[in-house]
Amino acid sequence: MIAPSTYDALRDELASRHDELSKRLKQIAEYALDNPNDMALETVSEIAERAGVQPSSLIRFAKAFGYSGFSEMQKVFRSHLVENGSNYKERIRSLGRDDSCQSNSSSVVLDDFIDGGIAALNNLREVLNPEKLEQAVEALVDADVIYLTAQRRSFPIASYLSYALAQLDKRCVLIDGNGGMFFEQARSIRPGDVLLAISFKSYAAEVVQLVKETKSKDIPVVSISDGILSPLAQHSDVCLEVEEVEVHAFRSLSASMTLALTLVVALGRALDQAA
């Protein structure tokens, strides 16, 4: 039995042998994969307690993977802690330095998007008006059926909403334009329903038109869009504004997705209270 000497090798071993492990050992393997930092820094008894096992199990665990004892295995986790940290710092350094175009490594791209996503989320916190959110929830609580519509880049948000609303046992119809039947799908909307439309510039023509038509029938429209000047905002009862950050010519969806999620959870609570 030869013990893995690198963190990655150990992870692979943990995964590939996971099935053949006994109950406790499985439990430890899962804890180790979830909390590598604990494995690196904490003492045997502390880890044992957190993972809900006996200290001796940790030693048996280490031995099952070929180490002479827990301490030897811990070294592997520790080495990773050091390597990883320096990687990260180097990336940060290179990010600040050469913002020209040398940074073509994908991991630098990742850093950019992560920073962008964080910025977008912070921005969301600042600009979103809590009253509007409440208004949107109120409108949706009373809806008989929620009609969802979005196209292109925004479509995944509507798609997610359709999944999440179903979880809440809230009836909804996703107008996805499948089979070229965008307006046909929307035709069954009627008083008592609510349209929830999502679109960002450049605004999908079908969505804008549907919003206008629905509004003119006096059916409530809630929208998620990118500012008060959006054609959706003009014709909606409530418009929740999100500003997504653009990085490398692609726009993130973090903020919009988070808003969608919030809307769903807030709606879920409101529904619970109503019942």
Partner DNA sequence: ACACAAATGGAATATAAATTCTATAAAAGG
Partner DNA sequence: CCTTTTATAGAATTTATATTCCATTTGTGT
Q: Which of 62, 198, 211, 247 binds DNA (CB under 7 A)?
A: 62
Pick from DNA, a second copy, none: which does 102 bind, CB < 5 to 8 A by kind? Answer: none
Contacted by 137, from DNA, a second copy, none: CB < 5 to 8 Å by type = a second copy
Q: 68 touches which of a second copy, DNA, none (CB within 5 to 8 A by kind)? A: DNA
**Residue 97 touching a second copy (CB under 8 A):** no
- Alpha carbon distances (Å) from 164 to 12, 215, 260, 265: 34, 25, 9, 9
Residue 36 CA to residue 76 CA, distance in Å, equals 10
| Residue closer to DNA, measured from CB, 53 or 240 | 53
Cα-flanking dihedrals φ and ψ of residue 50, to 5°?
-65, -35
Q: Which does 173 bind (CB under 5 to 8 A by kind): a second copy, DNA, none?
A: none
17-25, 89-97, 134-142, 253-261 -> range binding DNA (CB under 7 A): 17-25
- State how far the Cα of 169 lies from the Cα of 71, in Å rounded to an integer: 51
Query: Residue 17 interacts with DNA (CB under 7 A)?
Result: no
Q: How far is the CB of 57 from DNA (least distance, A)?
A: 5
HSE-CB for 29 with a 13 A CA cutoff: 21
- Under the binding rule (CB under 8 A), the answer on residue 37 touching a second copy is yes
Residue 233 binds a second copy (CB under 8 A):
yes
Determine the Cα–Cα distance for residues 275 and 258; give it in Å rounded to an integer: 26
Q: In Å, how far are 38, 69, 154, 251 from 54, measured between CA atoms?
A: 16, 15, 50, 49
Closest to DNA by CB, 37 or 56 = 56
Total residues contacting DNA by CB under 7 A comes to 23
Instruction: Kindly give, in sequence order, each residue whose CB lies less than 8 Å from that of residue 266, ignoring residues fewer than 6 positions away.
Output: 133, 137
Tokens of 216: 């003119």
Residue from 71, 87, 105, 188 that binds DNA (CB under 7 A)?
71
Q: Name the segment binding DNA (CB under 7 A); options: 49-57, 109-117, 156-164, 172-180.
A: 49-57
